[in-house]
Structure 1
């Protein structure tokens, strides 16, 4: 998880190759995939997905990694697209009843909403 937080793809890859569990969570329920999604890092998202990371792990607020990627969208949809293509549920509601798709619509951001039209 710390390698992902640090953005150190080489260290994260080595740890995963050595058997690190991609689904370990911190006290807030965040996994490495939550952090990679928050940073909109396509490379780290793809690496974790390929390592078998659970796409639907929820933090203590019920947010999935896709929810985090959508919230933190910075103009490049690589993390959103990678998660959707891997099978992340765009309609998985958090504890407040807001899904990634709904959040994209709520903020009235066409750039975000357009990525959900095919899912």
Structure 2
């Protein structure tokens, strides 16, 4: 059985068929020493990965990955998509019913992250509020 470290390398390869084949026998709930699952890794390394987000995330979900799973620092895939400013992944996660109000270890939500990263484009803020994110959650 492949480890998460093996799968990270597979994810970075440009062979989608091989990655999908390897994914069949992989324990999708595996995490690395930081508490990151394969979806967290995919998001954090998005610019280096050629596999299409919609296909990959759909496969992860089919295999039983919890899209609301947190890393050790409490960040979820949705939070990371806001942090990395990845609109396509953000929209996929929204459409997959990602929890909008999960807090990280500091009590920050994806909406808080969107506000802190605001640079004139309100896409993430607007989408989070439109989809029901709670603007009144207090952090630590």
Q: Structure 1-normalised TM-score?
A: 0.82
SS of structure 2 residue aligned to 1:58:
coil
Aligned mates of 1:90, 1:7 — CA distance in 2: 32
- Structure 1 stretches of 5 or more lacking a match? none
Partner residue of 1:94? Answer: 104
Larger RCO of the pair (alpha carbons < 8 Å, separation 6+): 1
Partner residue of 2:33? Answer: 27
Q: How many residues were matched structurally?
A: 116
- Structure 2 stretches of 5 or more lacking a match? 1-6, 48-52, 133-140
Structure 1 residues 112 and 9, CA, compared in 2 at 3 Å: closer, same or farther? farther
1:86 positional shift: 1.0
1:37–1:66 Cα contact (<8 Å) kept: no
2:83–2:117 Cα contact (<8 Å) kept: no
Please report the RMSD computed on the Cα atoms of aligned residues, expressed in angstroms.
Answer: 2.1
1:47 positional shift: 2.3
Q: Runs in 1 of length 4+ with deviation above 4 angstroms?
A: 5-8
1:8 positional shift: 4.8
Partner residue of 2:138? Answer: none
Q: Structure 2-normalised TM-score?
A: 0.71
Structure 1 residues 6 and 100, CA, compared in 2 at 3 Å: closer, same or farther? farther
SS of structure 1 residue aligned to 2:93:
helix
Partner residue of 1:81? Answer: 91
Partner residue of 1:37? Answer: 43
Is residue 59 of structure 1 aligned with residue 65 of structure 2?
A: no
Largest Rg, 1 or 2 = 2
